[in-house]
Amino acid sequence: MQKILNYIDGSLIAPTSNQYLDNYNPAEGKIYSLIPDSDATDVSKAVDAAKAAFLEWSTMPVEKRSAILLKIADLIDRDFEKLALAESIDNGKPVSQAKSLDIPRAAANIRFYATGAMHAASEAHITGVEAVNYTLRTPIGVAGCISPWNLPLYLFTWKIAPALAAGCTVVAKPSEITPMTAFLLTQLCEEAGLPKGVLNVVHGLGPKVGQAIIEHPDIIAISFTGGTVTGKKIAATAAPMLKKLSLELGGKNPNIIFADCDFELTLSTTISSSFSNQGEICLCGSRIFVERSLFDQFTEEFVKRTKALAIGDPLEPSTRIGALVSEGHMKKVLSYIKLAKQEGGKILTGGKQVAVSGRCAGGYFVEPTVIVGLNHDCRTNQEEIFGPVVTIQPFDTEEEVLGYANSTTYGLSATIWTENLKRAHRISAGVKSGIIWVNCWLFRDLRTPFGGMKQSGIGREGGWDALKFFTETKNVCIKLS
């Protein structure tokens, strides 16, 4: 049985406890590897290594830092097939998606920040003829990066790349549910010649290892992506310690469809925004609102295409819906489908666990599910399900649909479908979400600020925001007269 190892001070080592946790292949429902059951002792070793490496890494010419990071990205490209297969086995997602989204974006994240850091600018303010003020940005120190299970390598690199490019050293913890590709990445870091101690990866449980990272006094900036409940726990620990915090949390995103939309584009994209990654993307549009005059036609066609989605073995090229990430998560999703029925919802398609034949007989599969007949303010429409489950509801006016869209505690993303330019701007201004797509979904420019409002998080990642997050700033005023 393969043993995943921690990556501390440039070496792949066992946890101090020498204890391991089971790591499941969710498509088979079987244990296929072991993950270190690390603890605070391992985090402390990692922080010591990161501190020891900080001076050399933070003062290294940015071109040299960039070259090492770009080498890691090149090695991700080289091992593309291996990483995509590992991601699919670890997470349950179709390997086709790991190849089209997860792994390419992991390399892109690293390239984006490795090159961006070379063009980072700072500002100066000239006070007449009396003084020059300039802003000095320097790497903040040891950063803590904690990532979730839904887009494992994509989000792991989205956290560590800006920190490393900014000149910070890092102590990182991927999700204990999907540790494999982060482990494989650490092997590529060694091969790329990343200096020892610059990146340290401590595998293990959130409340044990994650908590130890959050509370370690020498980790001064925390970048986290995960659930809102966990985000609040992290803030409760980090805020009194005055740590810098970037929290990318959950969402319950509205997908607003007007009757004048481009019907075919809206339909095909909405299938993706509803069921990609089995609905396990915080940006998925799980609440679909359709203008009443289009509601019947849209719903009928959407259900037909949902039924046509191939669900099953994630390693089959034709599979569109793979396994949910764990048995516990599958039970959570099924419990929400049961709740939807109790709240008066009508299941138009899906709603059940799927028994897949062959090697995946023990896997965690749930049918893509479409529900109508619910009120916008019921629990099913207010709480994050994070599975292949969407609700559809008609609306008559812009005011009504904005009220529905903004009725949850979340404010992460929204999609708007209309060919009316004024209305597109009007609704975009009215929706309380940090990321808004008009006539598209998940179209990303990495320079743009990325993050949510309300309970979807604090801080912005992406572009200069992420690089600045990992620096500390001082203003120097030079009196000239």
* Residues that bind ligand TXE in the complex, under the rule CB under 6 A: 146-150, 173, 175-176, 206-207, 210-211, 214, 225-227, 230, 233-234, 248-250, 282, 384, 386
In angstroms, what is the minimal distance from the CB of 389 to ligand TXE?
Answer: 12
The answer to whether 282 is a known catalytic residue is yes
User: d(Cα 148, Cα 163) in Å, to the nearest integer?
Assistant: 17
Would you say 176 and 21 are in contact if contact means Cβ atoms under 8 Å apart?
Answer: yes
Residue 71 vs 432, nearer CB to ligand TXE:
432
User: d(Cα 252, Cα 96) in Å, to the nearest integer?
Assistant: 26
Residue matched to tokens 């299938």: 271
Residue 219 vs 257, nearer CB to ligand TXE:
219
User: d(Cα 195, Cα 71) in Å, to the nearest integer?
Assistant: 13
In angstroms, what is the minimal distance from the CB of 459 to ligand TXE?
Answer: 13
Of the chain, the end-to-end C-alpha distance in Å amounts to: 72
Query: In whole angstroms, how far apart are CA 127 and each of 121, 123, 124?
Result: 20, 13, 10
- Alpha helix positions (H), 38-193: 40-59, 62-78, 80-91, 95-97, 103-116, 152-166, 180-192
In angstroms, what is the minimal distance from the CB of 190 to ligand TXE?
Answer: 22
In angstroms, what is the minimal distance from the CB of 247 to ligand TXE?
Answer: 9
Would you say 247 and 228 are in contact if contact means Cβ atoms under 8 Å apart?
Answer: no
Would you say 23 and 195 are in contact if contact means Cβ atoms under 8 Å apart?
Answer: no
The answer to whether 63 is a known catalytic residue is no
**113 is written with which tokens?**
């920040």
Residue 321 vs 348, nearer CB to ligand TXE:
321
Residue 200 vs 211, nearer CB to ligand TXE:
211
| 108 Cβ neighbours under 8 A, 6+ residues apart | 73, 446
Catalytic residue among 248, 291, 367, 384: 248
Catalytic residue among 145, 282, 284, 360: 282
Distance, CA of 331 to chain centre:
22
In angstroms, what is the minimal distance from the CB of 30 to ligand TXE?
Answer: 20
User: d(Cα 439, Cα 257) in Å, to the nearest integer?
Assistant: 9
Residue 79 vs 280, nearer CB to ligand TXE:
280
Q: Which residues are catalytic?
A: 248, 282
